[in-house]
Every structure is written in C-alpha cells, then in structure tokens.
Structure 1
C-alpha cells in the first residue's frame, strides 16, 4: 500500500511520541522546522511521531546524508501506537549518541483479518550531530 498523506495531529492533541505533552509543543515544532531536536532522544521521538503521522519528508530531512535513501515510502497499513525508550548514550553536548527503543505497531482498522499484524520493532539507533542538528545515521534491529 502506498504511503498515505501526512496527517499531523491537532496542536492540542497528545503527541504520539509518548512524552505526555501536546503535539503543538512537542514534536510539532520539530516537524515544521520551527526548532531542532536538542538531543538524540528528542530526535528519535520526533521520528517515531513522523512515522505515526506519515511525514516521510521529515524522516528524510533528519536522516544523515551518508545513509539516507533517495526516497521513502511508508507502509499505509501500519499504525504506530507507542514508543518506549529503553536506553540512551550521549547527551546534549555530545556529537554522537545512541538510542535503544521499542516501537509498538499494529494493522490499521479495515485491514482484512488474514493480513493483520501486531508487533514490536526494537532497534539500537545511532545519531550524529552536525552543524548543531541531530541526524539519524542507522540502527541495528533486534
């Protein structure tokens, strides 16, 4: 299924990234370019949120050029439900960091029963900060 159109939540709704904050003061400003993620963890959360709202352009913008694909097509059948940060290495003054996470997903409503999926993607992701911007480099899934 092709990538659905980006559909950000309203600024007053709870942000999909799991911080408990509203989208308008959490990941929304990062997605719009109004501010940069201050840490690799904040970038990881905003990238999870971008998967949840189908913002492929943001995912590409925040991907390190050395590993970034030419284009990105998101799976329109998947609903990203919840993010757990399992551990971090590196802080706001470092230029390299790692974030271990578990991203919970399931099929969107309307998917035929025989095609439904539910699962957790676990990844240890690497990030670099260049020119003051955190960028996703790559990750080991598992």
Structure 2
C-alpha cells in the first residue's frame, strides 16, 4: 500500500532552471515548434533521451539497474530525425526510415569490424558471426 503523500510527490511538478545562450534557446524553440511541443516538453523529452545513452554508473544508479540498452534506439532515432530536419525543412517518413536504416547499417558494420579486430567475434562462411572462446576459436 502506498501513502498518498508519496504518490503526490512523484507527480508534483517542480521548476528546474538552466541558463543557455539565446541562440541555443532559439534552436530549441524551433525544434519544439516543428514537433508541436512547448519548450518545457521539448527540453524534458530531450533530457530524458540524452540520459538514455548513459550507463547507471554515469547517473549515480546501480550498474545494471534497468535496461538502458532498450532505451538507446529511440534516442538514436530522435537524433537522426532532428539532424535530418536541421538540414531540410520537411522529410517524409519513408526518407527518415531510409536514413535510419543507412545509419544503423553503418553502425553495425563498424561494430562488427571492431569486434573482429579485437578478436571478440569471428565470421564463419556458413554460420555467420560467433563469439570467440578463450582458446581463440569459435564456440
């Protein structure tokens, strides 16, 4: 059973202030307008999206708490959308999807190259990728 006072504290809205250069506020306002959001909604959502890329250790939580990996893809998608919209005023859904697929493909290729260079994984012709065991071969 929860105390009603605890529930009120969890949903109570409080002010959090920051000071940024006027040009930065103007950029945020422009993005917020494009997303049909208020400045407060935009800043809140961007802070939350930004936090998704950090591990629990970075934000003072117990390592492994929560599933941070599940939250990274929406943050990556948000960044890609905002980057695309900074370059052009309007982008169709299909174009955004293509941009994301290309970005993720490049990231996957880079990750596979890096893991192979570190001898953490190997690629076998018939079976695909596999972890390298301690003896230097595949599992």
TM-score under structure 1 length normalisation: 0.28
Give the number of the structure whose alpha-carbon radius of gyration is greater.
2
Say which structure, 1 or 2, has more relative contact order (CA 8 Å, 6+ apart): 1
